[in-house]
Structure 1
Amino acid sequence: MRDFVRFRIMLIFLGLIFGATTAAQATDLRVCADPNNLPFSNDKGEGFENKIVTLVAKDMNERVVYTWWAQRRGYVRNTLKAGLCDLWPGVASAVDMLATSRPYYRSSYVFVTRADRNLKITSYDDPQLRKLKIGVQMVGNDAMNTPPAHALARRGIIDNIRGYMLYGDYQKPNPPAAIMDAVADGDVDVAVVWGPLAGYFARKEPKPLVLALVEPAVDGAQWPMQFDISMGMRRHEPDFKERIEAILESERPKIDAILAAYHVPRTDVGEHFSVNELR
């Protein structure tokens, strides 16, 4: 009889342990993020993607648990596909290596210049670009380079280009922001920068900067300058995707407010994209 009682107690104890473990797992929203990539994310939770996933997790009654990984080649393979996390909060909607939610914002590359230069560049066909020093975000492999790099190259604008690696010097804070510093410091006359990065760091530079939307939205019917941004997850998880999409829709006003607070240039809202508003 004593053995039976002890056996029952052991079962109850094991059940409590198992139940507690399962509950803990069920309350975690496991997020893949870069620890040094403002304005998107950092390990202090200061990026707008940090703020948005916190909002999503609250609606799911879950807590955010991060898998920190620098956004380099192999990022998806080493995070989502490795099963270390379940959600990538900011990825181009058209990416084909994972499933993506409906977009929650759309942004564009922008021309960045100093306000005191009054250059007013909005097109790659502006003749000024053949004489000015131009900063361009680069990936390194020409075949996989950024759309602005290809747009300038196809016009033969090559010799006056200064490349700034998209990944930057990861030993420093905010490595991709170097291209914005270059404009403010006068190292380049104009730079073509992904909108969210430009909008955020423009206000942190000592010299007033002006941002102008790159037009048209697609260059040469091949190189898009605007991208829808979604949340990414593994394929074949439709319930999780639907849950995320429902929250993104229901929390749209709060998400829009977060994006506005970080000065993300957007082309998916009814407001006119004003250069003056982006100084």
Structure 2
Amino acid sequence: MTSPFHRRVWIACGCATALVGSDASARELRVCADPNNMPFSNRSGEGFENRITDIIARDLGAVVTYTWWAQRRGFLRNTILAGRCDLVPAIPVGIETLRPTRPYYRSSYVVVSRPGGPSVRSLDDPVLARLTVGVQLAGSDASGTPPAQALARRGMTENVRGYLLTGDYARPNPPARIIDAVAQGEIDLALAWGPMAGYFAARAQPPLRVAPVEPAIDGPKGPMVFDIAMGVRREDEDLRREVGAALERHRTEIDAILREYDVPRPDDVRRIEVGGP
């Protein structure tokens, strides 16, 4: 069953060929992406998913064309599943509706706090109950992301504030509102998805602290760490193999881009904690 987080990440099918063109020199890689969702993607091509997609397209001798659609409920249904595009640059492995490549990175939910503020990493730290904690909520039904559900299981609701991942789409990068709330002192800390949190925390003034949420697995329904892959329609096995092979060939370049965007990764100890103790 697809979780609210899984719905959002793409929060992370038609039979059209995925790479098309009038001749071999004009191949087209049709990509589904959000035009207002840094650090992942935007219409100006500034996100790390934009840049990694460009690497894949060059490797395949293709030109990227985008179908822009806000990553809200219905994103997959209205884009790749409707045949408007053929590749989603990031999906959590395990999503049922698409076929993933091998993961090209792993990230986790993180704790974001101000320098000199409370130093909390564990969901079982008793200090959490005395703090104002921000969590992300997914979809129009405001479903809780894994950290929100974990706090609810611990009976923490009165001190928790929810921030919609969809947010006010008229503003730049709606999911970043939760990081702004930490920086401005509206909340003591935030439990947020790592790639977004790491990027905006590193660019706050002063930079915010970022550390992975512990435990990484909070019971059978509470993973805090996810493998991220590119996704195609389930029948597009040829494209999946092509894109997967290109990801492997360019792993060093992709890793460098992820570090540049301050994506916290459990398998990269150099970048998993940002902002010092």
Aligned counterparts, 1:61-80, within 5 A: 61-80=61-80
CA-atom RMSD, angstroms? 1.9
Aligned counterparts, 1:1-279, within 5 A: 22-23=22-23, 27-117=27-117, 119-139=118-138, 144-269=143-268, 271=269, 274-276=272-274
Give unmatched runs, 5+ long, in structure 2: 1-19
- C-alpha displacement at 1:21, in angstroms? 6.2
**TM-score scaled to structure 2, two decimals?**
0.88
CA change 1:70–1:278 in 2 (3 A) is farther
Is the Cα contact below 8 Å between 2:259 and 2:271 reproduced in 1? no
- C-alpha displacement at 1:141, in angstroms? 6.4
Give distance in 2, aligned partners of 1:267 and 1:90: 18
> What secondary structure does 1:67 align onto?
strand
Once the two structures are overlaid, the 10-residue window that deviates more, 133-142 or 93-102, is 133-142
Give distance in 2, aligned partners of 1:198 and 1:95: 22
- C-alpha displacement at 1:22, in angstroms? 2.4
CA change 1:236–1:69 in 2 (3 A) is same
Is the Cα contact below 8 Å between 1:38 and 1:174 reproduced in 2? yes
Q: Which has the higher helix share?
A: 1
Is the Cα contact below 8 Å between 2:73 and 2:139 reproduced in 1? no
State the percentage of identical aligned residues. 54
> What secondary structure does 2:89 align onto?
strand
CA change 1:23–1:68 in 2 (3 A) is same
Give distance in 1, aligned partners of 2:139 and 2:52: 31
> What secondary structure does 1:23 align onto?
coil
- C-alpha displacement at 1:92, in angstroms? 0.4
CA change 1:141–1:125 in 2 (3 A) is farther
Give distance in 2, aligned partners of 1:39 and 1:227: 17
Give distance in 2, aligned partners of 1:158 and 1:208: 28
> What secondary structure does 1:203 align onto?
helix
Give unmatched runs, 5+ long, in structure 1: 1-19
- C-alpha displacement at 1:277, in angstroms? 5.4
CA change 1:25–1:170 in 2 (3 A) is farther
Paired residue total: 258
Give distance in 2, aligned partners of 1:144 and 1:180: 19
Show the counterpart of 2:5: none
> What secondary structure does 2:116 align onto?
helix
- C-alpha displacement at 1:274, in angstroms? 4.8
> What secondary structure does 2:203 align onto?
coil
> What secondary structure does 2:23 align onto?
helix
Is the Cα contact below 8 Å between 2:48 and 2:261 reproduced in 1? yes
